[in-house]
A and B are shown apart, each in its own frame.
Chain A
Amino acid sequence: MTPQQPPSDSTSRRSFVQLAIGWSVAALAAAASSGAAVRFLVPNVLYEPSLRFKAGKPDDFPDGSVTFLEDERVFIVRQGNTYRCLSAVCTHLGCTVGRSELGFHCPCHGSSFDEQGKVKGGPAPRALEWFMVTLSKDRHLLVDKNERVDAEKYLVL
């Protein structure tokens, strides 16, 4: 900075190293703080319906019934002593499908599905999803939406 007395090389080098360390530390602090801010925005608890939930007692669902569960947006399908759980979320753009004579129908863009969830028409790219059904320790149907299964997989009681 003082042109009359140019600093010696060693002073200059030391200053440069100090400045470099200073900026590195400041950059680290900035990065860590930004990281904390992003982590802050990732929720640790959810108030939406759980992806793993108890659907009810097996006997709550009559034989041959397809029961819609509003909060969880799934159908519980019982045939004889077998239980399955079908997603009611259209694979096209996420609308909720309803029952129709042939199976299921999406009101948003007109996709239709058969009883097995297979696409029969409309823009839906894939069949409706089936979720794993198990029996909880207190003998309730336990659905896990994290686990997708084939249409042929049943819970047999």
Chain B
Amino acid sequence: MSLENPRRLYPAFILLGAAVCILVAAAYYRDEFRQWKDIQRQFIREEMRRASTPQQRLLARNIPVQIRQVVLPELRRVDRCTTCHMAVEDPSYGGFPQPLAYHPLHDQHPFERFGCTVCHRGQGHATTTADAHGHVPYWDQPMLPLRYIQASCGQCHEAADNPAAPELARGEQVFESNGCRGCHKLGGVGGVIGPELDRVGGRRSADWLMAHFRSPASVTPDSAMPPQKFSQADLEAITLFMLSQTGASMTGFYTSMKVVPSAAQGRHLFQQKGCIGCHSLGGKGGSIGPALDDVGMRRAPEWIMRHFRDPQSVTPGSVMPKFGFNESEVLALTEFLLHLRDQNLALSLPSLMSPVERGKEIFRKFGCAGCHGQDGKGGVPNPNAKTGEQVPALLHVADGYTREELVKFITMGRHQVDALDAKRPAPPLYMPAWGAVIEPAEMADLASYIFSLKPKGDDLGF
């Protein structure tokens, strides 16, 4: 028989054909046996167990085993979480072990409108546990640990306005009062020494942020940022607040919710529309219209809302014009007036404050404390700076500068900080030029505040 006779190759033919068959079968196997199918069958068994009538049993048996998904075009998401988490809408599964547990809060955030990943993160497309929960390579949005879940509220709700998210409010408080904005921009406001924080929550994990606050250099070797001495609770709160800064742009339906219950939004509108020109709060303001301090107690919310829409409709002969507020503005202003019992809200209206008080707000708003310490008392390290390896305190500015010099200094900044030792690396922190950011009127208030920091009775001792 010839060497070339194909018969010699018949066994190879069979083997190769069989190899292709086996591989195709393996592909089928990979496709057919999926974890979620087991979980759905477990759910069906549980439903069967609970069924008491034949009809219920039939219903349970007919639950189809298939991928479930919530399509959310507005959020650009497809969430398939309910493929495994099948009982999220059924309160009778409260306390049932995952993945078949009930999820509360359905009324406020119906899942067919919100999906799951917009709050919990993770990978909505995925249909295996590891991939869906997002702790896999090449997915930068793993599930948010539950203790940080309030960070997600911040995507739509103002931090301060949501009583259900106290940790978020606390985080914002820690952020603002520790002067983080001195170096970092958030929402377009802040310094230029550190990076902007608008998207940081989508890029960094909680662990990274924690490590970073404790010792910035441990995760970012060249960081100029001094280590922060937060209490554990503050540390967790500010980590949570940072996680809330995802830069996600919510649209339409979702942002409308943002405005509705917000007294802070109302305060902002109240200030912006110049209501204080006619009305007074705490004895300050105009006298054309009535004082508003106790309006929330005198009038029903409905009355106030109708009044905003059309003042004459409830107070014939009123000289107040129709401002043409939209419905969410009406709601926000009403919220504000109803919350006036909370003194802080009213008193924090800039037009009602003294220059020093306003200056203090500006000091806080732009995060000056981040470098100069709380109340300008200093103590923030700046290695190798000639000023005692610290950022200078501001307590004695009034002795060394005139008002004009101080304003000029803040406006221009000082980018070269004198080094203690020329051989060591230059001091990382410096004074940015704030001229383009802080407006002239604010600058004057800020100067008043800084001058007011001088300790009383200290003149002689210096």
Hey, which bits of chain A sit against chain B, CB under 8 A? 1-2, 5, 7, 11, 15, 18-19, 21-22, 25-26, 28-29, 32-33, 36, 44-45, 47, 54, 137-138
Minimal beta-carbon separation of B114 from chain A (angstroms): 14
Per a CB cutoff under 8 Å, which of B1, B6, B112 touches A54?
B112
Given contacts A32-B25, A44-B67, 9 further A-B contacts (CB under 8 A): A5-B1, A18-B7, A22-B13, A26-B20, A36-B24, A36-B28, A44-B66, A45-B67, A137-B91
Pair count A-B, CB < 8 A: 60
Q: Are B106 and A26 in contact (CB under 8 A)?
A: no
Q: Are A22 and B17 in contact (CB under 8 A)?
A: yes
Q: Are B2 and A25 in contact (CB under 8 A)?
A: no
Q: Are A29 and B20 in contact (CB under 8 A)?
A: yes
Chain B interface helix/strand/loop/mixed: helix
Q: Which 5 A-B pairs have the closest CB atoms?
A: A25-B17, A22-B13, A18-B10, A29-B20, A26-B17
Which A residues touch B69, using CB under 8 A? 45
Hey, which bits of chain B sit against chain A, CB under 8 A? 1-2, 5-7, 10-11, 13-14, 17-18, 20-21, 24-25, 27-28, 66-67, 69, 71, 80, 89-91, 106-107, 110, 112
A7, A11, A25, A28 pick with most chain B CB within 10 angstroms: A25
Q: Are A32 and B13 in contact (CB under 8 A)?
A: no
Minimal beta-carbon separation of B401 from chain A (angstroms): 65
The distance in angstroms between the C-alpha atoms of A21 and B1, with both chains bound, is 22
Please judge, given known A-B contacts A2-B2, A25-B21, whether A138 and B89 are in contact too, CB under 8 Å.
yes
Which B residues touch A2, using CB under 8 A? 1-2, 5
Which B residues touch A11, using CB under 8 A? 7
Minimal beta-carbon separation of B7 from chain A (angstroms): 5
Minimal beta-carbon separation of A42 from chain B (angstroms): 12
Q: Are A19 and B10 in contact (CB under 8 A)?
A: yes
Q: Are B24 and A32 in contact (CB under 8 A)?
A: yes
Minimal beta-carbon separation of B134 from chain A (angstroms): 20
The distance in angstroms between the C-alpha atoms of A19 and B89, with both chains bound, is 59
Which B residues touch A19, using CB under 8 A? 10, 13
Q: Are A15 and B67 in contact (CB under 8 A)?
A: no
Q: List 29 A-B contacts (CB under 8 A).
A: A1-B2, A1-B5, A5-B1, A11-B7, A15-B7, A15-B10, A18-B7, A18-B13, A18-B14, A19-B10, A19-B13, A22-B10, A22-B14, A22-B17, A25-B14, A25-B18, A26-B13, A26-B20, A29-B17, A32-B24, A33-B20, A33-B24, A36-B27, A36-B28, A47-B71, A54-B112, A137-B91, A138-B107, A138-B110
Which A residues touch B2, using CB under 8 A? 1-2
Which B residues touch A36, using CB under 8 A? 24, 27-28
The distance in angstroms between the C-alpha atoms of A107 and B72, with both chains bound, is 32
Which B residues touch A22, using CB under 8 A? 10, 13-14, 17
The distance in angstroms between the C-alpha atoms of A2 and B4, with both chains bound, is 11
The distance in angstroms between the C-alpha atoms of A28 and B106, with both chains bound, is 51
Q: Who on chain A is nearest to B73 by CB? A: A47
Q: Who on chain A is nearest to B23 by CB? A: A29
